[in-house]
């Protein structure tokens, strides 16, 4: 009887862990934990007070992981594995994470418009950006984790608003887009698996403001780092890039060592390694 009870507790605990996308630790959900290179979770974001860990679920599958800053309402970083495209167009919906509204809600990302229609008396945007925050803001909904780096349905999952930042339109549609395309070509030549981190560095005091309320921080920089692994488990190539989020429209490519130095300049705590053995 005791063994049966213990088994039930273990099963129940496991089901609770995989039921949602807001987690205490990324390794609570194995499919989420796999987004990180060799299971190495960076120290980035330890100097942020109001962060949550998200394991993004769409079509009952986990696709990537995000450390999300609920104060600035932009991601510290997202971690994902590159996938070659299998076709499929851009998602027309913008999703939000229900558990950032109410922890008891489903962890499956939902269309923000319809979730709002179904819950008219509940404000959905206390801890995350909403689609209306970006309307007439002058900024693009700039993907951090690019939809073009995934196959469907992972591609659809990148349209959660926790995966976008207010990005300067010129940068989003030109230099950064070209850089993402260059990465696609590079990753297609990766022998085994390309792990990617992409994130944003918040500005001191530059926000999308709605009704006299600071809603979404307009980041100062967007950045990217990657590590391609061969079948032998060793790194084949690596690198990264940064871009000032302005009409300057310039992407600066860097080594991983240079990326750590750059990120350290904008962190109050040690950044450490971005990837293990790369």
201: CB partners within 8 A, 6+ apart: 219, 220, 221, 222, 223, 263, 266
Residue 277 banded pLDDT, cuts 50, 70, 90: confident
Burial of 171 (0-12, 13-18, 19+ CB in 10 A): buried
**Contact assessment for residue 160 and residue 129, using Cβ atoms and an 8 Å cutoff:** no
**Contact assessment for residue 167 and residue 179, using Cβ atoms and an 8 Å cutoff:** no
**Rounded CA gap, 206 and 217, in Å?**
6
Whether pLDDT at 18 is above 60: no
**pTM of the full structure:** 0.91
Q: Which domains does the chain have, with CATH numbers?
A: 2-264 (3.40.570.10)
* Residue 96 tokens, joined: 């939000």
Each residue's pLDDT tens digit, 175-223: 999 999 999 999 999 999 999 999 999 999 999 999 999 999 999 999 9
**Contact assessment for residue 227 and residue 36, using Cβ atoms and an 8 Å cutoff:** no
Q: What is the pLDDT of residue 89?
A: 78
Distance of CA 233 to the CA centre of its chain: 25
145 backbone dihedrals φ, ψ, rounded to 5°: -75, 110
166 C-beta neighbours (distance < 10 Å), count: 27
Each residue's pLDDT tens digit, 234-275: 999 999 999 999 999 999 999 999 999 999 999 999 999 999
| C-alpha distance from residue 203 to each of 9, 86, 123, 195, 220 (Å) | 45, 36, 26, 27, 5
């Amino acid at each position: 009887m005791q063994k049966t009870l213990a088994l039930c507790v273990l099963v129940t605990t496991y089901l609770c862990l995989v039921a949602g996308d807001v987690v205490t630790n990324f390794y609570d959900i194995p499919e989420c934990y796999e987004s990180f290179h060799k299971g190495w979770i960076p120290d980035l974001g330890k100097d942020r007070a109001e962060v949550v860990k998200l394991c993004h679920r769409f079509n009952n599958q986990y696709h990537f992981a995000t450390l999300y800053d609920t104060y600035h309402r932009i991601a510290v970083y997202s971690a994902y594995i590159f996938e070659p495209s299998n076709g499929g167009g851009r998602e027309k919906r913008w999703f939000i994470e229900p558990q950032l509204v109410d922890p008891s809600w489903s962890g499956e990302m939902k269309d923000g418009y319809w979730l709002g229609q179904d819950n008219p008396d509940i404000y959905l945007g206390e801890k995350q950006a909403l689609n209306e925050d970006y309307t007439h803001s002058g900024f693009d909904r700039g993907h951090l984790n690019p939809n073009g780096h995934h196959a469907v349905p992972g591609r659809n999952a990148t349209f959660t608003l926790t995966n976008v930042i207010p990005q300067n339109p010129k940068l989003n549609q030109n230099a950064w887009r070209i850089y993402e395309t260059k990465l696609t070509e590079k990753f297609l030549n990766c022998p085994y698996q390309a792990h990617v981190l992409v994130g944003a560095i918040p500005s001191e005091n530059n926000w999308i403001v709605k009704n006299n309320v600071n809603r979404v921080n307009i980041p100062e920089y967007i950045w990217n780092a990657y590590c391609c692994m061969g079948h032998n488990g060793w790194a084949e190539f690596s690198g990264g890039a940064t871009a000032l989020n302005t009409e300057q429209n310039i992407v600066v490519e860097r080594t991983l060592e240079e990326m750590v130095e750059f990120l350290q300049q904008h962190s109050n705590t040690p950044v450490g390694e971005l990837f293990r053995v790369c």
